[in-house]
Amino acid sequence: MSFLDTLHRAVRRIARDVGAEARSLFEPVFAIRILQDDGRVLVLDCRGRELRLDRRFGTVKSGSRVLARFSEIRTVVVSHSRLGGAHVREEMPELWTVTLSLGWFSRVHVGRTHDDAEASVVAARIASLTGKPVTAR
């Protein structure tokens, strides 16, 4: 193998690696991904945390920890806000949060996303699986 072939391969490998890093910079900061949805089990990825809703057992789990039982869930809540805390301005990115309301002061945080359609689909899938209504705030 000639020096130019070796150099060409090295440049292509660096370009591939840098390209993957550059793509990850443009991925949304907040997202809720559906990993599995077969009508019995819904598995969501929320920024690296896997949430599993299982119809057979009637549970919402994160890892091996049961966060809630379907019977405890009152409603699936989709709420809208903007990033920025106290300094919210119109140009700040929108944020949609999906939570499971268990009562007045008890809730399970499902996840946040920048995509309103993604939040709506996730809330609808949870509502379908649990038999609970969706509310917007």
Over residues 101-134, the pLDDT tens digits come to 998 889 999 999 989 999 999 999 999 999 999 9
Tokens 């809720």 sit on residue: 32
Q: Taking the mean position of all CA atoms in its chain, how far away is CA 66?
A: 18
In a domain, 5, yes or no: no
What confidence tier does 23 reach under pLDDT thresholds 50, 70, 90? very low
In a domain, 4, yes or no: no
The domain tally of the chain equals 1
In a domain, 102, yes or no: yes
Tokens 């990825």 sit on residue: 45
SS3 assignment, position 36: strand
Residue 74 gets the label, from left (phi > 0), alpha (psi -120 to 50) or beta, of: alpha
Give residue 30's pLDDT: 85
Say if residues 70 and 63 touch (Cβ distance below 8 Å): no
Residue 89 token pair: 């301005």
In a domain, 36, yes or no: yes
Q: pLDDT tens, 30-84?
A: 899 999 999 999 999 988 899 999 999 999 999 999 999 999 999 999 999 876 6
Q: Which domain holds residue 95?
A: 29-136
